[in-house]
Amino acid sequence: MVSCNDQNLVYNIQISSVGPGRATAPDVVYEPRGLDLAMKLHYLKGVYFFSSDATQGLTNMRIKETTFYWLNEFYVTCGRFRRSDDTGRPFMKCNDCGVRMIEAECDKTVDEWLKLKDCSATRFKCGGISLGLSWAHILGDPFAAADCFNMWSPFLAGLNSNGPFQITKSPERLENPENVKESRSLKRVDPVGDHWVTANNYLKKLAILLADQAIDDRTLIEELVKKDNGASDYIIYGANLTFVDFEKANLYGLELSEYKPKFVDYTIEGVGDEGAVVVLPWSEDSADYSSKGRVVTVILPENEITELKYELKENGLLLKGDLE
């Protein structure tokens, strides 16, 4: 396996900001639900890999131009969070500050890079391209993230947008519910202030692991967050061993020149000590597609990886030399 730390693989890195092509109306705000606020320490990272057939005539400048129209429809993603003066509850001020775009080139082909697993790039020497998405979970769940990215397709194909609806609303003053019990799906963590990341650093590796038990605590989580107006910080992924099923998310809905991605990968940042198992669908357009095929990522504390690999090998789910 080639080391992902080889800095010579990726070069010509450029960072810029893009935003809606039209100004959003003044004083437009978006207030996340309690469940979204409980997710504010979690982030989704997605990478979409396309072959060279999909990129014919698609320049970096063209990609940037389409984002102006695409973000007219998803202007909330270009805002910045503030806190209510009355309650301290976070809300999004839709001020068109934009999203960060990172461009880069790579000396590997798409097929070579896919073998490196945990990395992402932009332009490959074969002419292929990868488009990466970093999504704050407070904006919505994995299905919302995939739907947002998929809606880029018509703009990449040439559709223009007239801009967002002119909606204005203010943060709501919420009543604090009484006698709310604790949720097993939620773990309170030390306050992080307005720097919404967890302090832990975990090793992410591929493995095969399935879970079949789940509890639905969404209503209870909403009540807990309302009780203190979103002031407390929580984790949900990894509060207990968490099974995250992406199989019904339309991860392969983004198209370039009517070509679907060759491969799509998603992972989660900010996972707690108990870990998470993420199950992704396999591309139906793949030559080796099987309805039983899955891509599974296990996210655990580093000191548990060795034991997990041993158990997988003992059960014939991991070949000697894999993930070494």
CB 107 within 8 A of CB 119: no
Q: The domain that contains 111 carries what CATH number?
A: 3.30.559.10
Is the model's pLDDT at 63 over the cut of 90?
A: no
Residue 320 lies in a domain: no
Residue 222 lies in a domain: yes
CA distances from 310 to 211, 224, 273, 316 (A): 19, 39, 20, 10
What average pLDDT does this structure show over 283-299?
71
pLDDT of residue 288: 59
Residue 270 lies in a domain: yes
**Could you give the CA distance from residue 257 to residue 54 in angstroms, rounded to a whole number?**
5
What average pLDDT does this structure show over 220-232?
80
Residue 43 lies in a domain: yes
Residue 323 lies in a domain: no
**Could you give the CA distance from residue 160 to residue 59 in angstroms, rounded to a whole number?**
18
**Could you give the CA distance from residue 290 to residue 75 in angstroms, rounded to a whole number?**
38
Helices (H), 260-302: none
Is the model's pLDDT at 51 over the cut of 60?
A: yes
Residue-wise pLDDT tens digits, 246-263: 888 899 999 988 889 988
Is the model's pLDDT at 1 over the cut of 50?
A: no
Please state, for a pLDDT cut of 90, what percent of the chain lies above it: 14
Q: How many domains does the chain have?
A: 1
Average pLDDT, the chain: 77
What average pLDDT does this structure show over 123-128?
80
What average pLDDT does this structure show over 165-193?
54
pLDDT of residue 319: 54
What average pLDDT does this structure show over 51-64?
86
Residue 322 lies in a domain: no
Is the model's pLDDT at 193 over the cut of 80?
A: no
Is the model's pLDDT at 9 over the cut of 50?
A: yes
Is the model's pLDDT at 120 over the cut of 70?
A: no
Q: Which pLDDT band holds residue 96 (cuts at 50, 70, 90)?
A: very high
Kindly tell me the sign of the dihedral angle through the C-alpha atoms of 139, 143, 144, 149: positive
Chain centre to alpha carbon of residue 168: 27
Is the model's pLDDT at 118 over the cut of 50?
A: no
CB 160 within 8 A of CB 85: no
Name the pTM for this structure.
0.76
Domain that holds residue 59: 10-168+179-314
Q: Which pLDDT band holds residue 80 (cuts at 50, 70, 90)?
A: very high
Residue 173 lies in a domain: no
Q: Which pLDDT band holds residue 183 (cuts at 50, 70, 90)?
A: low
pLDDT of residue 295: 84
Which of the pair, 156 or 315, is modelled with greater confidence? 156
Residue 284 lies in a domain: yes
pLDDT of residue 251: 92
Residue-wise pLDDT tens digits, 306-320: 887 777 777 676 655
